[in-house]
Chains A and B, each alone.
Chain A
Amino acid sequence: MKIKGKKIADISVMIAGKAGDGVLFTGNVLAKILKRQGWWVSTYRDFPSNIRGEPTNYTIRASLEKIYGQADDIDVFMAFDCGAIIDHADKIVKGGIFLCDGLGLAHVAPSRIDGRTYHIFPLRKLARENFQSELYKNMIALGALSHILDLDFRVIEGIISETFLKRKGKKIVRKNIRAVRLGCQQAKKMIEQEEIHPLVEKKDSGRLLLSGNEAIAMGSLAAGCRYFAAYPICPATEIWQWLAVVLPEYNGLVIQTEDELAALNMALGASYAGARAMTSTSGPGASLMMEAFSLAGMAEIPVVVAHVQRVGPSTGMPTKTEQSDLDQWVYGSHGEFPRIVLSPGTIEECFEFTVKAFNLAEKYQCPVILLTEQDYGQNLRTVKKFDLTKVKIDRGKLLNQEELEGIKDYRRYKFTPDGISPRALPGMKNGLHMVESNEHDQNGYRDEDSENRIRMMQKRMRKLENAAKDLIPPRVWGDRESEFGIIGFGSTFGPIQEAIAQLKDRKIRAKYMQIRTLWPFPRKKVEEFLDSCKEVFVVENNFTGQLGQLIRSQVQMPIRIKNILKYSSQAFRPQEISSQIQMAVR
């Protein structure tokens, strides 16, 4: 927000229009420019699930400090049509500025309401008159924003040629740069100096601008995943699109399956053959995967599923965010079997946890779920370059040919103290074995004897009993001495951090526990945290408070927790958390 006399340290620009207007494109170019100028960037998209026609908006936030989500307010608003103003006026901060294409109302004078300035900015008209095509409205809008934000023109030129040169050629690059200049000049003419929001210039720090989906794709490549099978679904498909481009260069394979039943079953087939294999999906696809999820548990086949949550139930709202599928993976499918459910909260964690997921899957020979959300799955954030030297690959008890030859009477499901049996692959010599979805004996032969059943159940379930040392522990943030605690998972990470800062300004100290492994549930750590708090708030993007329920069912002490819930299809804004806590504790 702009504070008079102070340099801007944090700004949010919303670009709004109708689906098909190029809102995402314009916003992404702006995000790249801001990132290149050294700012930490976080974007937030609010798109309908159809391709054309419905209102859509995209917010690009930049800060001098690292940010993990959207801010409470919008400072600069660029609208391709007037309808967007009506929808979002309440989010524009005092002192903020509106630009709107006006759709033929080009003669209306600028007006000032509540310290906010409104300008009619005839984007389409300028585009038509100067470039004979309305397409150029996007770059003209970018030009106007470049004036308001006082962006570095050399950076803009650089990004535009990177964006267009390869696909469209030099001529188009020049034309687009001219359009940006035109927008900038027009804005200079109509916008007064005191209305602009100049950003301080910093140096590009070699950071990346990435979505969580891309980070998961990168993580899986780094982890050695070479087999990816999936069925298209919003908002998970980017994982696959990234891998589809890259895997062919790494002797890997990507296949589009006939449905999600096939997707997880194929990944299991590939993993059974020894490949590191993965699939990705969202709610409806995850429902179809439940059957194979259980097979992975019974047959003890490692596999990684990335689930990017969207709004349910049923088809719900495919492009919007929610945290309502925790129960699906923690409790889901038939029978009881070990599973691991990880919940990254940041883009960096998307990468790290993906690598970890493949190691855990092979070490414990069980399915591992990476549960993320549309919010940071599709939105972009600035991140430091990933440290590839930290990527370690652990294939667990996977036998090589030599080891296998040293074993007399190889048994795929041999009883071992830790429950994990050495794993041979089909095609290996001296490793003849059977993998069974029915209950089986140590050889893998179907066996319905009760005695054996008990021992096999215990063997499988024992695998995760001592896994705590390998799992990703919860992390505590904020003021550790405070008596107000907040617990959350996934995308609430950013807004909770900012809510804690807001509470601090209001003289309320709070701490926050980020749960990063949902299952096996980190009971001890959570109990310690609960024990150290007078009051605890569990923040979740769902209706029923699934994390709250999970905590209640797992901890072995009397507790009182309050849920702060949001299920509007939008991610939390910090203020929505801080104000509820403030009200409750005062």
Chain B
Amino acid sequence: MKKEDRLEQRNPIEDLLRMDRIPHIWCPGCGIGTVLTSFAEALRKSEVDLDKIAVLSGIGCTGRVAGYVKLDSIHTTHGRAVPVATGLKLANPELKVVVFSGDGDIAGIGGNHFIHAARRNMDIMIICVNNFNYAMTGGQVAATTPRGANASTAPYGNFEYPFSLPYLAEASGATYVARWTALHLRRVTKSMQEALKKRGFSFIEVITPCVTLYARRNRLGDGLNLLKYYYEKSEIQHGADTRTLDISYQGKLIVGKFVDIEKPTFLDCMNEHLGKVLGDKYQTYGVNND
């Protein structure tokens, strides 16, 4: 094959991935890679300046994403990607800051950071891969595990109420909230494109198969079986009331874009307020005053 042909045949998203790190560590049939592909696709389509994007992850299978994107990235500790992202965004508002992490990371150990970043309308974008369990550590029960599902730390089944993440995000102040499954890749990409353009706290939940742990433990078959479940039980309801989005074990999955509003961000509010109170003494933050 000639070099030009090879270039042509190369998957265009390869430019956005650290190909020297591939093959990746994810299990065959795992959904995380497909969500990452959607993200790369969204970046390509958005034509954003790649130098001005930073990706942050916490720890977990999903947390490994930070290591595969060919962008400035930081692999933080478990649950802390959101506060690191906040510091990064505030110290360099020029950057588009994206957190890409797992459900345990975002809503379990990092839950407090998540709701507070949403409350402040911090201008960051969060992609949460919800595989209904703590995968990396061996399939433990999570704050998102449906009632009745089995997990390694819930051998008799989970009896706790799970979070509905879109509801949590909206109630906390998010300005963009969407939920999709790993089946809805085009829509995931589109949501990501919208969120990349959005100023404000945006949250995209992607329900994703964990074949090795969640599916096997619950005897749900392989990745294909889970995608089939998503296909059969998902229902697109844009603008649905986020109070109605609870997920029961193998039950209905309401997906769609639920929230897309405009609201001044943390920095907008700070600049407006301090500018008013301090007048000329105030140096508008995030604007180069040199």
Q: Which A residues are closer than 8 A to B by beta carbons?
A: 226-227, 229, 248-253, 255, 257-259, 261-263, 265-275, 277, 291-292, 295, 299, 425-429, 431-438, 445-446
Task: Decide if A292 touches B77 in the complex (CB within 8 Å).
Answer: yes
Chain A nearest CB from B182 CB (Å) reads 24
Interface range, B side: 35 or more
**Residues 73-131 of B contacting A (Cβ, < 8 Å):** 73-77, 79-80, 83-92, 94-95, 112-113, 116
Residue of B nearest to A298 (CB): B77
Binary interface encoding of chain B residues 24-44 relative to chain A, with 1 for a CB under 8 A from any of its CBs, else 0: 000000000000000000000
- Cα A576 to Cα B86 in complex, Å, equals 48
The 7 listed contacts between A and B (C-beta, < 8 Å) are A257-B83, A261-B79, A265-B113, A269-B90, A428-B51, A437-B76, A446-B67
Task: Decide if A432 touches B72 in the complex (CB within 8 Å).
Answer: yes
- Cα A89 to Cα B289 in complex, Å, equals 59
Chain B nearest CB from A404 CB (Å) reads 11
Task: Decide if B83 touches A269 in the complex (CB within 8 Å).
Answer: yes
Task: Decide if B85 touches A269 in the complex (CB within 8 Å).
Answer: yes
Known contacts A251-B283, A275-B91, A434-B67: A266-B84 contact under CB 8 Å = yes
Is B213 an interface residue when CB atoms closer than 8 A count as contact?
Answer: no
Chain A nearest CB from B251 CB (Å) reads 32
Residue of B nearest to A257 (CB): B83
Task: Decide if A258 touches B94 in the complex (CB within 8 Å).
Answer: no
A432 / chain B contacts, CB cutoff of 8 Å: 70-72
Interface centre among B18, B74, B87, B274 (most CB of A within 10 A): B87
Describe A's contact surface by its main secondary structure.
mixed
Supply 10 further A-B pairs (C-beta < 8 A) apart from A248-B282, A249-B282, A292-B80. A248-B278, A259-B112, A262-B113, A267-B87, A275-B92, A426-B88, A431-B72, A434-B67, A434-B75, A437-B59
Task: Decide if B278 touches A262 in the complex (CB within 8 Å).
Answer: no
- Cα A434 to Cα B71 in complex, Å, equals 8
Residue of B nearest to A295 (CB): B77
Task: Decide if A253 touches B80 in the complex (CB within 8 Å).
Answer: no
Q: How many A-B residue pairs have CB under 8 A?
A: 141
Chain B nearest CB from A40 CB (Å) reads 34
Is B228 an interface residue when CB atoms closer than 8 A count as contact?
Answer: no
B76 / chain A contacts, CB cutoff of 8 Å: 265, 295, 437
Residue of B nearest to A259 (CB): B112
Is B285 an interface residue when CB atoms closer than 8 A count as contact?
Answer: yes
Is B21 an interface residue when CB atoms closer than 8 A count as contact?
Answer: yes
A271 / chain B contacts, CB cutoff of 8 Å: 87, 91
- Cα A267 to Cα B87 in complex, Å, equals 6
Known contacts A249-B281, A259-B112: A426-B83 contact under CB 8 Å = no
Residue of A nearest to B57 (CB): A437
Chain A nearest CB from B176 CB (Å) reads 21
Known contacts A227-B90, A251-B289, A445-B67: A436-B283 contact under CB 8 Å = no
- Cα A258 to Cα B119 in complex, Å, equals 11
Task: Decide if B75 touches A436 in the complex (CB within 8 Å).
Answer: yes
Known contacts A259-B112, A265-B83, A269-B84: A437-B91 contact under CB 8 Å = no
B240 / chain A contacts, CB cutoff of 8 Å: none
Known contacts A251-B289, A265-B76: A273-B83 contact under CB 8 Å = no
**Residues 7-31 of B contacting A (Cβ, < 8 Å):** 18, 21
A434 / chain B contacts, CB cutoff of 8 Å: 66-67, 72-75
A262 / chain B contacts, CB cutoff of 8 Å: 80, 83, 86, 112-113, 116
Contact partner, B87, options A250, A252, A277, A436, Cβ 8 Å: A277
Q: Which B residues are closer than 8 A to A by beta carbons?
A: 18, 21, 51-52, 54, 59, 64, 66-67, 70-77, 79-80, 83-92, 94-95, 112-113, 116, 270, 274, 278, 281-283, 285, 289
Task: Decide if A250 touches B80 in the complex (CB within 8 Å).
Answer: no
A275 / chain B contacts, CB cutoff of 8 Å: 91-92
B59 / chain A contacts, CB cutoff of 8 Å: 437
Task: Decide if B87 touches A227 in the complex (CB within 8 Å).
Answer: yes
A274 / chain B contacts, CB cutoff of 8 Å: 91-92
A446 / chain B contacts, CB cutoff of 8 Å: 64, 67, 75
Task: Decide if A269 touches B75 in the complex (CB within 8 Å).
Answer: no
Task: Decide if A266 touches B86 in the complex (CB within 8 Å).
Answer: yes
Residue of A nearest to B66 (CB): A434
Task: Decide if B95 touches A426 in the complex (CB within 8 Å).
Answer: yes
Known contacts A249-B283, A258-B116: A435-B87 contact under CB 8 Å = no
- Cα A282 to Cα B131 in complex, Å, equals 38
- Cα A427 to Cα B126 in complex, Å, equals 19
- Cα A438 to Cα B64 in complex, Å, equals 10
Residue of A nearest to B58 (CB): A437
Chain A nearest CB from B10 CB (Å) reads 19
Contact partner, A426, options B92, B274, B285, B289, Cβ 8 Å: B92
Chain A nearest CB from B267 CB (Å) reads 9
Chain B nearest CB from A318 CB (Å) reads 22
B21 / chain A contacts, CB cutoff of 8 Å: 445
Chain A nearest CB from B71 CB (Å) reads 7
- Cα A435 to Cα B95 in complex, Å, equals 16
B283 / chain A contacts, CB cutoff of 8 Å: 248-251
- Cα A427 to Cα B285 in complex, Å, equals 18
Chain A nearest CB from B43 CB (Å) reads 14
Task: Decide if B88 touches A269 in the complex (CB within 8 Å).
Answer: yes
B281 / chain A contacts, CB cutoff of 8 Å: 248-249
B90 / chain A contacts, CB cutoff of 8 Å: 227, 253, 255, 266, 269-270
Task: Decide if B75 touches A229 in the complex (CB within 8 Å).
Answer: no
Task: Decide if B83 touches A227 in the complex (CB within 8 Å).
Answer: no
Chain B nearest CB from A250 CB (Å) reads 7
B289 / chain A contacts, CB cutoff of 8 Å: 251
Task: Decide if A249 touches B74 in the complex (CB within 8 Å).
Answer: no
Chain A nearest CB from B19 CB (Å) reads 12
